[in-house]
Amino acid sequence: MMDENKKTGIPTKTVSAIAGGISGASTRFFCQPFDVIKIRFQFTAFDFLKDEMEKIYPDSNKRALVNFICGSLSGCAATLASFPFDVIRTRLVAQGNYKPIYSNMRIALYHMYLKEGPYSLWKGLTPSLIQSAPQAGTQFAFYKFFKGLFVKTYWLGKENEGEGDLFISGSLLAGSLAGLSSKCVTYPFDLARKRMQIQGFQRARTGFGKSFFCTGLISCLVTTVGGEGIIGLFKGLTPSLVKAIITNSLIFSIYEKTCQVLMLL
């Protein structure tokens, strides 16, 4: 069987699995710095916008709305700043051939720019913005809500002159709940974004069966529902929820504790 695959040039399932694992791990390793930049940019933008908005709307009854708006705007800003790298990362991970089209980020950027034009680096931007705005908005809004709840009830937190401090367990739980809530709300747009980012890249995905074609956000959503039903909009939701819970719990808890430590210096 191995000899036959060598003759045809088609990798076995084992080879594909190993190569895919190495490809995914390598891509994540080299692209991770851009995720760090995006997260840092998002928190910085949120804190700045929140301070400015609270000067305009000091009423505590509007705090949830302020958190949502500031989170949404910071999410959009971070998405715009990092989007081309997100597209390249998706392309690198999406390659299905034994001999990939792109071997690294530089080659991917070069080929995409020359063969598909600069627009290719922004494929899927619309659903990304539609996704990132409510996702970031709900993340921050839900996190601040749970933080306030835990602090006021003295459960997993304590009051102080500011918003209060959460214990590490409180930060982890609030971050987890925020990630879970926001991902459930925005997942269909995340699916559409990824499907749009690999349009025009079907040559590298010949081993994945029937290709998915769409021309825009609405086309992508309609085609998905038409071919796979409403449930098709939530394909892969479970692992995404697990990732969102883990990621957000760590991001918010580390952020909270870092702020607490820095405030003592």
Exposure of 27 in the CB half-sphere (CA atoms within 13 A): 22
CB 39 within 8 A of CB 251: yes
Q: What is the mean pLDDT of residues 155-170?
A: 73
Question: Phi-psi bin for 117: left (phi > 0), alpha (psi -120 to 50), beta?
Answer: left
pLDDT band at 28 (very low <50, low <70, confident <90, very high): low
Predicted pLDDT of residue 214: 77
Domains identified in the chain, total number: 1
pLDDT in tens, 63-81: 788 888 888 998 888 888 8
Owning domain of residue 192: 2-264
Helices 63-94, 13-56: inter-axial angle, 10-degree rounding: 160
The CATH number of residue 101's host domain is: 1.50.40.10
pLDDT band at 9 (very low <50, low <70, confident <90, very high): very low
141 against 25, higher pLDDT: 141
Predicted pLDDT of residue 35: 64
Per the prediction, the chain carries an average pLDDT of 77
Is the pLDDT assigned to residue 19 strictly greater than 50? yes
Q: What is the mean pLDDT of residues 91-105?
A: 69
pLDDT in tens, 185-228: 889 988 888 888 777 665 555 555 556 777 778 888 898 898 88
Predicted pLDDT of residue 180: 92
Is the pLDDT assigned to residue 15 strictly greater than 70? no
SS3 264: helix
CB 129 within 8 A of CB 186: no
Predicted pLDDT of residue 238: 92
Helices (H) and strands (E) in the chain, counts: 8, 2
